[in-house]
Amino acid sequence: MSKTIEPDKQSVETCLKQNYAVDFYQREYVWSKETAITLLDDIFYTFELSYSQFKESEISGKILEQYNWYYLNVYITNKIEGTKYIVDGQQRLSTLTLIATKLYHLLSQYHELKELQEIVKQCIFSHNGFKSVFNIDNDKRYNIMDCIFNNKPYPKEFKNKTEQTLAERYQDISKYLDNKFKDLESKKLHIFILYFLKRLVLVELVIDQNDTPMIFEVINDRGEALKPFEILKGKLIGALDKNDTEAFCEKWDKALNLLSEWELEDDFFVDLIKSKFVFKRNSDLEKTINNSYHRYIFEDNEIAKSLGFGKSYEKHKTHIKNFIEKDIGYYAKLYATITSNENEFLMYSNEINYLSGQYQIILAACKVHDEQEDEKIQIIAKEYDRLWMLLNLNGIYDSNEFQEISYNLNHRLKKAALKDYTSIFDSLLQETLKVKRGLEKIDSLLEYSSFLERNYSNMNVRVLRYLFARVEKYLCDNINQKPQNDVYNITTKKGDKTGYHIEHILSRNATNIEYFENEEEFERERNKLGGLLLLKDRVNISSGNEEYQDKLKTYSNSLVWGHSLCEEFYHKTNKDFLTFKEKEFDNKRISFKHYEKFDKTALNERSKLLYEIVKIIWEVER
């Protein structure tokens, strides 16, 4: 890398009088008020130390040379076809330009300092031989800098974050300097401006374009707060010819802006890479992709070879262009769609049950501009929820193994026909059941015996709430009754007043215990799913020994599953429920009925009824 880096020590005046474009590597101007004020405080601290010593002296170059100089750090540039690009340092240079602009305005008060004002103006605004331009990123910043420099009103809406931040920071800097120089004669302002222009020092590093991506990443490793996707942008677009960078930068930004509101850019790239290349669990590979995918896809590995982004690949520029234009362009939009969780099953999986593997599976299943995208989203989202719930109800759910299943689905659905999706999910569930049960054949995806083994003591409470929330939705949808709340709120709300809580129908009292052989059987049986329901508001939950008949008063105002225990729920005026009951359950071995007492028989009947409902909701027998 000989002769790649050429350092050049410069004053602020020399630095700001040059014209710069801001390279695509650079994020928007985002310096906070605190950062800008800290810079001003530091500058004034070193200035005041010298000013207090020399304030009685006449202003001269010799005296100014005795002032403490202040180092403003390094900025990095490269020059391509006559244009100088800022590779690193635009935040600091932009802030210095705003300071110079305010100093220019302050000088308007002093006729005797007109020549100095003209020098300051050249640090902000100049003529390039063809037209007058602002010295930093004129093409993109002209409108807002024109407002700031010429004291024009700001636009009602800013075009981007850079415009907004430039306007806000200028106001902060303006107030700061107004306060510093109020009620002062021109001498201190004069000396400070000379100090600002000539004793503040930066070092410019001029680099070769080919080394820009590498140096940009090294800068980030020093501690700059850049995210992996921002480094990836630099590495990919930096490898393209300069006449392609602007167009592909716009394509990149257009796609990634869909994810920026929720800061999903890095999640997107992690899920995209895994969806296309990871088909089984590998903790080391997963960790590497999660933490440094932006480096891994350029190293010596199979994923990097498949992508072909490195300079050693003959068509690496073509691969990069296709990736940005086709893959990122399509999949970022798809990712924005699915992570919004507008699909009810995606919402169930992610927002209620904290699952995210469904996103990778959808990315894996969809090809670029997939005409079946909507159908694939719906089927995969529903099947993923079904798979997860049936594993739980079979008592064989394991989070690590479920991740393995998810990766397996990345592979199986990648080239599968849409009509085969349900059978693929079923076969995975069957395979898991066979292994866990040690069986060669599976007769049902959820046997009643397995369902009976699931209870309050061995199921996650949130999963239980979700199960009964889905039961509630199923019942309300079929009897045309407005639900008390939706699935999300029923599952997730836990507050004493607004939350839903698990209620044991069989309270711990002498009446209920007598229904069973002994207390041990009572304790075991009362935890069965058929002996549970949800109640809103903790004060409604049994104190522990309340009689069943007294509980019915509370159940009559509860969710449908609990209300169906009460006699009045079967009144002839409840026509939609009675029609539903007759159509869907009266021809089965078990149906809805009210119970005057809740004994062992009632518990078994409710367990069988709940089992039938669960089989319908999660399509056990399709």
| Residue 539 or residue 187, greater confidence | 187
Do 215 and 232 belong together in one domain? Answer: no
Pairwise CA distance, residues 492 & 217, whole Å: 42
- Which structural domain range is residue 338 located in? 228-451
Pairwise CA distance, residues 57 & 40, whole Å: 24
What is the model's pLDDT at position 570? 97
- Whether residue 323 contacts residue 236, with contact meaning beta carbons closer than 8 Å, is answered with yes
Q: Torsion angle of alpha carbons 327, 330, 333, 337, nearest 10°?
A: -110
Q: Torsion angle of alpha carbons 555, 556, 557, 561, nearest 10°?
A: 60
Residue 78 bridge partners (DSSP):
85
Domain-located, residue 433: yes
What is the model's pLDDT at position 234? 86
Q: How is residue 591 written in tokens?
A: 């149906």
Do 426 and 357 belong together in one domain? Answer: yes
Do 201 and 266 belong together in one domain? Answer: no
Domain-located, residue 1: no
Contacts (Cβ under 8 Å, ≥6 apart) of 148 = 98, 101, 166, 167, 170
Q: Torsion angle of alpha carbons 257, 258, 259, 260, nearest 10°?
A: 40
Domain-located, residue 565: yes
Pairwise CA distance, residues 41 & 512, whole Å: 76
Distances (CA, A) of 437 to 404, 406, 445, 447, 468: 18, 21, 12, 12, 27
- pLDDT classification of 497: cutoffs 50, 70, 90: confident
Side chain identity at 18, as an amino acid letter? Q
Do 59 and 186 belong together in one domain? Answer: yes
Tally Cβ neighbours within 10 Å of residue 272: 22
Please give the DSSP secondary-structure letter assigned to residue 367: P
In this prediction, what percent of the chain has a pLDDT beyond 90?
82
Domain-located, residue 133: yes
Residue 21 bridge partners (DSSP):
85
Taking phi over 0 as left and psi of -120 to 50 as alpha, with beta for the rest, 87 belongs to alpha
- pLDDT classification of 78: cutoffs 50, 70, 90: confident
Do 203 and 237 belong together in one domain? Answer: no
Quick check: helix, strand or coil at residue 397?
A: coil
Contacts (Cβ under 8 Å, ≥6 apart) of 550 = none
The residue written with tokens 């079967």 in the block is 570
Domain-located, residue 456: no
What counts of helices (H) and strands (E) characterise the chain?
30, 9
Do 165 and 303 belong together in one domain? Answer: no
Do 493 and 394 belong together in one domain? Answer: no
Do 418 and 315 belong together in one domain? Answer: yes
Residue 536 bridge partners (DSSP):
500
The residue written with tokens 């009976």 in the block is 452
Q: Torsion angle of alpha carbons 606, 607, 608, 610, nearest 10°?
A: 80
In this prediction, what percent of the chain has a pLDDT beyond 70?
95
Do 55 and 106 belong together in one domain? Answer: yes
- Whether residue 275 contacts residue 364, with contact meaning beta carbons closer than 8 Å, is answered with yes
Domain-located, residue 11: yes
Domain-located, residue 445: yes
- pLDDT classification of 183: cutoffs 50, 70, 90: confident
Do 428 and 494 belong together in one domain? Answer: no
Pairwise CA distance, residues 483 & 490, whole Å: 10
Name the domain boundary from 206, 221, 236: 221
Contacts (Cβ under 8 Å, ≥6 apart) of 521 = none
Residue in 491, 481, 495, 440 with CA at minimum distance from that of residue 461: 491
Highest mean pLDDT among 140-144, 243-247, 259-263, 335-339: 335-339
Number of domains, the chain:
3
What is the model's pLDDT at position 6? 61
Residue 162 reports pLDDT greater than 90: yes
Residue 1 reports pLDDT greater than 50: no
Range 66-73 average pLDDT? 94
With 0.85 as the threshold, say if the pTM is over it: no
- What beta strand segments (E) does 103-259 contain? 125-127, 132-134, 200-206
Digit-coded pLDDT (tens) for 559-612 = 999 999 999 999 999 999 999 999 999 998 899 999 999 999 999 999 999 999
Domain-located, residue 552: yes
Residue 322 reports pLDDT greater than 50: yes
Residue 54 reports pLDDT greater than 80: yes
Pairwise CA distance, residues 166 & 98, whole Å: 8
Pairwise CA distance, residues 462 & 355, whole Å: 13
Side chain identity at 258, as an amino acid letter? L
Please give the DSSP secondary-structure letter assigned to residue 136: B
Name the domain boundary from 416, 451, 486: 451
Contacts (Cβ under 8 Å, ≥6 apart) of 147 = 153, 154, 155, 167
What is the model's pLDDT at position 496? 83
Do 51 and 90 belong together in one domain? Answer: yes
| Residue 207 or residue 149, greater confidence | 149
The residue written with tokens 């399709």 in the block is 622
Do 430 and 309 belong together in one domain? Answer: yes
Contacts (Cβ under 8 Å, ≥6 apart) of 425 = 383, 384, 386, 387, 409
Digit-coded pLDDT (tens) for 195-242 = 999 999 999 988 876 666 666 665 554 444 578 998 899 899 989 988
Name the domain boundary from 221, 241, 268: 221
Digit-coded pLDDT (tens) for 254-288 = 999 999 999 999 999 999 999 999 999 999 999 99
